[in-house]
Amino acid sequence: MPRNEVVMPLSLPPLEANAANAAQWFERLEAFFEIHGTANERKAAVLRFYLSDELRQLLPGLGASTGDSYEELRRTLVQYLRDEGVGIVARNAFFSRRQREEERLQAFMAHLRMLCSQAFPDLKKTEQATLVVDQFTRGVQSDSVRAALVRARCATPEAALDLAVAEEKDVAIISCLSASGTAAPANIVKSPAGENAQIAQASSIAAEPDDVQQLTEAVQRLLTQMTRCCNTTRERRPEARRQDRWSGATRCFNCGGKGHTARVCPSPARRMRRNGKMLRHEGAKPAQTAV
């Protein structure tokens, strides 16, 4: 090696408990050993140094001891992580799976089934179906679709998928009808061309103002008629208003009848007395003039 050549120290990321590919990490560790010329008796110590705190604490529970060789430690860790697709990595991938942006429900369900079969190969089909339905309900983006799945309590992935697709179509149509011209919510996946045409047709029907205009004109005509009736009632004669006011339990002190007072009593005696007063009043006027 030339004297002026500087050897740069190489760093290696620690192996985490949720590592996505443990075999790839061990390949990099082997290259690290070759570059630094690590002896076989030191490889186990270097491996322990590059383990995360969580994995280092799990080693006694996995049966690893201080005197284990590098090959024994590697075999124990790979068996625990099960990089082939089974084990803690696959279980973490299954329970953390969520519907991605612009991902269709069918693709989301298919990936969940694949992850469930890898993470829980020993479970029965019915138990796997229950786990898939539960994670599918948790992972969908649309709140309305999730609420429909919770209410339905589907027993099979097929029933859950059919219900979710139908609910998604209903939400898309309702969104277009309630707010024409605005985009659908972000958690609604784009529909095929036929469904888009159906939604556009429904939106154009809802935007027609003919029904609203007719209803408005009918309300205006009704208000005009009610205003005229109120004005006609206010313009009635004072006698009619007095009769309305006197109607009911009003009793006449002249004739004893109901519905009027003595001042406007229609009885013959009342008219005779009234005519006599008028004659006496007219006969008294000349005498006063002569005086």
Give CA 261 to chain center in angstroms.
70
Read off the pTM.
0.40
Confidence of residue 207 (pLDDT cuts 50, 70, 90): very low
Sign of the Cα torsion 108, 112, 114, 115 reads positive
Contact present, 15 and 50 (Cβ < 8 Å): yes
CA dihedral 82, 84, 89, 92 (to 10 degrees): -130
Per-residue pLDDT, 130? 94
31-47 pLDDT, tens digit per residue, is: 999 998 999 999 999 99
Which one-letter DSSP state was computed for residue 254? T
Confidence of residue 155 (pLDDT cuts 50, 70, 90): very high
Q: How many CB atoms lie within 10 A of CB 73?
A: 19
CA–CA gap between residue 49 and residue 38 (Å, rounded):
14
Average pLDDT value for residue range 222-227: 72
- Give the mean pLDDT of the chain: 76
237-263 pLDDT, tens digit per residue, is: 555 555 555 555 677 777 777 777 777
What residue type is 92 in one-letter code? N
More confident position, 270 or 21? 21
Per-residue pLDDT, 161? 95
CA–CA gap between residue 186 and residue 196 (Å, rounded):
16
Confidence of residue 205 (pLDDT cuts 50, 70, 90): very low
pLDDT at 99 over 80: yes
Residue 259: strand, helix, or coil: coil
More confident position, 168 or 193? 168
CA–CA gap between residue 89 and residue 91 (Å, rounded):
5
The number of residues making up the chain comes to 291
Find the DSSP H helices in the chain: 22-36, 40-49, 53-58, 70-81, 88-95, 105-119, 125-139, 143-152, 157-178, 193-206, 210-234, 238-246, 268-290
CA–CA gap between residue 187 and residue 189 (Å, rounded):
6
Question: Which of 19-28, 117-126, 240-249, 269-278 has the least mean pLDDT?
Answer: 240-249
